[in-house]
Structure 1
């Protein structure tokens, strides 16, 4: 069962009348309660495999974000949802601008900004995941209210009108949500929170994607923060739904040593800590104000390996700060990375594995730079803010569109059938003006 879509709903100057909006939201809520079979087996975009490397010149039809930072990009049907911390956006032709606070959507292929999808979100949206029904999307991040309703950290909203789906309420308390991901009916939450739905869940939880009810069969305890607040900063679910990799400030998980990174066997009933372990991220190669240098994680399309990118402190020190590394999913205890690519002193914030390439984004100046110290060492190649790495060897590929200025860096990379979306805090991409958002086509 799916929600019937109205004809060309995103090509109008008006949002639905309040009665129509209420009826639509009620229909979504009713579907959430009455039709569990409508929940997809997995998000359609997860594990997106590309046949080759994307082109170096971005398309001209994406809109522009005029301030702040883009932190997440996600296709939902014929729309692309964009999230982060911003207030104004404009169309591809840069004529005029409209207010959009922290999230907006545009039409795939034209860049036309949706006039219906204008949810009022009172804080930064850091993460997007497809909702369980057509025309819905999960928002995750550092916010308390969506459309005036209490939806701390996570909310399910309709892309038809931006309203919250009232049947979903995870009731997160005691902290923020940093990252969300999903597989089938399972929605994973990571952050600094202390409870979900009234149940004690410190920084990590699994809830029902339709209702937000906490899963009693998933109770993985993190503890002993290396610095600052205890939290899960990043998490990624495998494409088969049987593994979840988490990263954060913890140094123990379920009482066992797991320094900043751990793997959960989500196929087990109840879920259990997997044997995978490594001390590779134990080196204090960052600085005291950085609670964790772990950043994004992404699984390969076939789930056989996952990739991890890291940030770090201002000084180069021994360890895996400011790197991208490949890890085999079925590795056991005391695992070592298959390969590591060093930037030589600049942080990486985002990663996307497509089979043909591992794309990384940040504010790096070089790749293949293990001996560089804020300078090009032997064998280093110039890569300004974005790069592609060979999944087999870990060496930088020839792809080199560049970003100037590099700014803080790229925080959003999303592979889709049409190409690779990128979100950042700067306006120069592939030698053209693209305001904090762009897309490199797969066949171009």
Structure 2
């Protein structure tokens, strides 16, 4: 496919969704990994595997660092820690979700106590008071990875086989009022783990994603749906996840989110060129809307203003016509945005064991902040405390509201600046868009043959959140441009540009290139060689 520039940014063409800016906003940090986040109003709840939190701009061990074991909350507008929400999980949290009415958040994972009180892998918190809900304490035999809730029922999945003393196969539901079993809901993920759940609009279907190849003893690879009351298998028509051929080769769903009448899924692939990207399907039927076969495992998805934000380690997005694989060394891109709707057709080769070729695809939007992957191993000031996974990843989860999105994970830096584990981005206007274009090399100047004209040539640069840049040509020490060139570019497509100075004055002249993005940010090149006309 042609190596096109992505189609939109903070100043997109009419009809295309604008992205948030690429400016990394100051946010409280953690000393470990954030696996999951959920937003209620202006509060973000984050859970994972960490022991401490600290202000932005500070290092591990700073005097202002506070204890926060595996769970915290912060203000999405300011990035500040919410000090009144202070709880301790004795094991890592793997998923946090909010009830539809926003009155509760549910946390699932591997913990067995909360604040020293028995809570077997599932707990509820009151968002108004921040308190642990006292009468909600179901007993789950093993880890929980996925949760979906109505105001009356909590559905969850993972790798457990017993809930409140009753047999369950990786899926269960309990009553929100008291944590007792919903005995009519007993679907089964027969052969492997459940990672994510979502409720379809209307509340009559539960969509389930994970590593399984069967639901209710029926072939249903990686994703399917069941009735929200009976647990019976419900219609699901598409097959975005290819059938595994071994434990080492296959794909699975890592996250699900519903927006409007569509469910969006994230996938991870084990082995070469297995499905690693994102898909969209009708929540009521499972009919495929689009499938984005970028390679590089996707961990979390979030919808905002007709744009789907995702966190991954994408390294080949030729599927949607943007950046290709790099050789001999792969390069990874940890945060992406794309349209929630289909805009074209995939003309790249299908992935391993794929059920689709030339399927509908979205447009990848021009939004490429840089998240640094975590070190292989990092410890804090407490001897022996491991605070990153060693998986060499960056972000694992993404959430947001009308003005902001937030990413959580185990990254130590964002856009080259220290910012560990949590970061925020905002829509333009909510905060200033200050991210300037990347540095540009000095141009070269050459007198044209048999002429007094001087040709100025340079290599385009790129910008994290603006596709189209304006290049102003400056002569000598002048600040008024003698010419302008406007060009789209991206990190994988940097065209060669030029401008001819047709009326240079007598004497030697050198040139600089001043680059401006749509938000008014500027970077200027070093000076060129000097040339006489």
TM-score, structure 2 normalization: 0.63
Aligned in 2, Cα 1:161/1:370: closer, same or farther, shift over 3 Å? Answer: closer
Alpha-carbon distance between aligned partners in 2 of 1:98 and 1:85, rounded to the nearest angstrom: 15
Aligned in 2, Cα 1:375/1:330: closer, same or farther, shift over 3 Å? Answer: same
Match of 2:208 in 1: 246
Tell me which of 288, 291, 298 is aligned to 1:340.
291
SS of 1:420's partner is strand
Match of 2:172 in 1: 205
SS of 2:395's partner is coil
2:304, 2:402 within 8 Å by CA — same for their partners in 1? no
Alpha-carbon distance between aligned partners in 1 of 2:404 and 2:152, rounded to the nearest angstrom: 27
Larger radius of gyration between Structure 1 and Structure 2 = 2
Tell me which of 188, 195, 207 is aligned to 1:221.
188
Alignment of 1:42-441 (within 5 A): 52-60=18-26, 62-65=27-30, 67-76=31-40, 79-94=43-58, 96-130=64-98, 136-158=104-126, 163-173=131-141, 175-223=142-190, 225=191, 230-266=192-228, 269-284=229-244, 288=247, 293-299=252-258, 301-303=259-261, 305-313=262-270, 315-317=271-273, 319=274, 321-331=275-285, 337-344=288-295, 346-369=296-319, 375-376=325-326, 384-391=333-340, 392-393=342-343, 394-405=362-373, 407-441=392-426
Alpha-carbon distance between aligned partners in 2 of 1:373 and 1:284, rounded to the nearest angstrom: 27
TM-fit CA distance, 1:292: 5.9
Aligned in 2, Cα 1:145/1:374: closer, same or farther, shift over 3 Å? Answer: farther
TM-fit CA distance, 1:163: 4.8
Alpha-carbon distance between aligned partners in 1 of 2:98 and 2:257, rounded to the nearest angstrom: 16
1:127, 1:178 within 8 Å by CA — same for their partners in 2? yes
Q: Deviations over 1:392-414 (max 9, x none)?
A: 23121112223234741321111
TM-fit CA distance, 1:169: 1.6
1:132, 1:185 within 8 Å by CA — same for their partners in 2? no
TM-fit CA distance, 1:326: 1.8
Aligned in 2, Cα 1:159/1:415: closer, same or farther, shift over 3 Å? Answer: closer
TM-fit CA distance, 1:306: 1.6
Q: Deviations over 1:168-208 (max 9, x none)?
A: 122222x2111112122121111111122233221111211
TM-fit CA distance, 1:239: 4.1
Q: Deviations over 1:343-387 (max 9, x none)?
A: 33x21111112351111111223433479999249xxxx872010
Aligned in 2, Cα 1:275/1:103: closer, same or farther, shift over 3 Å? Answer: same
Q: Deviations over 1:203-257 (max 9, x none)?
A: 111211221121123221232x2xxxx3212212234323221122332222322
Alpha-carbon distance between aligned partners in 1 of 2:284 and 2:39, rounded to the nearest angstrom: 30
Aligned in 2, Cα 1:242/1:376: closer, same or farther, shift over 3 Å? Answer: farther
2:317, 2:325 within 8 Å by CA — same for their partners in 1? no
Q: Deviations over 1:261-308 (max 9, x none)?
A: 111232xx53431111444423337x6358863211122x212x2222
Unpaired runs of at least 5, structure 1: 1-49
Alpha-carbon distance between aligned partners in 2 of 1:162 and 1:383, rounded to the nearest angstrom: 38
Alpha-carbon distance between aligned partners in 1 of 2:254 and 2:20, rounded to the nearest angstrom: 23
After TM superposition, the structure 1 stretch with the greater mean CA deviation from structure 2, 98-107 or 402-411, is: 402-411
2:68, 2:86 within 8 Å by CA — same for their partners in 1? yes
Aligned in 2, Cα 1:108/1:222: closer, same or farther, shift over 3 Å? Answer: closer
SS of 1:104's partner is strand
* Cα RMSD for the two superposed structures: 3.1
Match of 1:6 in 2: none
Unpaired runs of at least 5, structure 2: 1-15, 344-361, 375-391, 430-533
Alpha-carbon distance between aligned partners in 1 of 2:196 and 2:415, rounded to the nearest angstrom: 28
